[in-house]
Amino acid sequence: MNGICILRWERSHPDLKITVEAVTPLRQTCRVPNKKASGPLSAIELATLAEASLTNATAIVGEARMLHDAGSIPRSYSLAVLAAEEFGKCQLAVGTLGRRPKDAEAEAAYWKEWWGIFYWHGPKLVRAAGMAGQLLPVGLIEPFIRHLEAALRTQRRESGYYVDVVDGQVVSPMDAIGREEAAEAIQCFSIVIEAYADMFREVGLATAYLEQHDGKGRDMREALASRDPDRVRSTWEATIGNPIDEERLKDIVDGWAAEEASGGAEQSK
């Protein structure tokens, strides 16, 4: 039956009488999920997405910590992994900064892959890992990666929510996730997420993104794209405030030469 039975009951002890009042089509009574988003996003949309995802990740990891303190160990672990995924979504949006649009076919392929990452758990965790080396103390990098690998390879986040059957044995969330594992995951993920959020405490992430996209960051990208050393030198000083180190400029110029050589080699094949 493609519909929902709306029930009416009359309770008179010791019997509970239930009768069907009506059958209503499903689409009239339930919210049908919206189609997944697709296609390119504007700079403003990406900036808003990055900041909203970071704010949400920060809130989620804080709630994970509170659950752990309250003794809800498995759920706290799962929330911590969820916070890492949300942080990965933030990094996915930030990662578009400085992209130069290509032809229509390449753009369609790029955004198809982008949305595939957006709606899938694993790739977002990989994006989250990209900031670990910069923000974590050395001693916590290995545990951070270990927890991400568990979430990626065994979908361990679900173990904190659901009862499972493993090798004929019923495994509850409390059996699957221990206090120390949850505490370490929360510590690792919270350090990365909260340290990154602190970088944008005064100037929000969305504002910083747009400044880099439309302002000085754009000027520098255009200077680099020009492949003119003098333009790079002057733009660097105007945007950064200090003259560029000549060794660094030489590395940039050498990189252009390597790209050209590589391109020429491809064309000759």
pLDDT value at residue 140 = 87
pLDDT digits (tens, 9 = 90+) for 108-123: 999 999 999 999 888 8
Total residues found in the chain within this entry: 269
pLDDT value at residue 169 = 93
Break the chain into its structural domains and give their ranges: 1-32, 43-208, 215-268
pLDDT value at residue 214 = 65
pLDDT value at residue 84 = 93
Q: How far apart are CA 190 and CA 37, in angstroms?
A: 29
Q: How far apart are CA 97 and CA 113, in angstroms?
A: 16
CA distances from 201 to 109, 163, 172, 206, 213 (A): 35, 40, 40, 11, 19
Burial of 201 (0-12, 13-18, 19+ CB in 10 A): exposed
pLDDT value at residue 268 = 52
pLDDT digits (tens, 9 = 90+) for 193-221: 999 999 898 888 888 888 777 666 667 66
Q: Which amino acid is at 142?
A: E
pLDDT value at residue 21 = 45
pLDDT value at residue 262 = 58
pTM higher than 0.75 for the full model?
A: no
Q: How far apart are CA 149 and CA 144, in angstroms?
A: 9
Contacts 24+ apart (CB under 8 A), 152-160: 152/122, 152/125, 152/126, 155/121, 156/77, 156/81, 157/77, 157/78, 157/81, 157/82, 157/121, 158/78, 159/74, 159/78, 160/74, 160/75, 160/76, 160/77, 160/78, 160/79, 160/81
> Which stretches in the chain have pLDDT values below 70?
1-35, 98, 214-218, 220-221, 239-241, 259, 261-269
pLDDT value at residue 207 = 85
pLDDT value at residue 75 = 96
Q: How far apart are CA 29 and CA 1, in angstroms?
A: 14
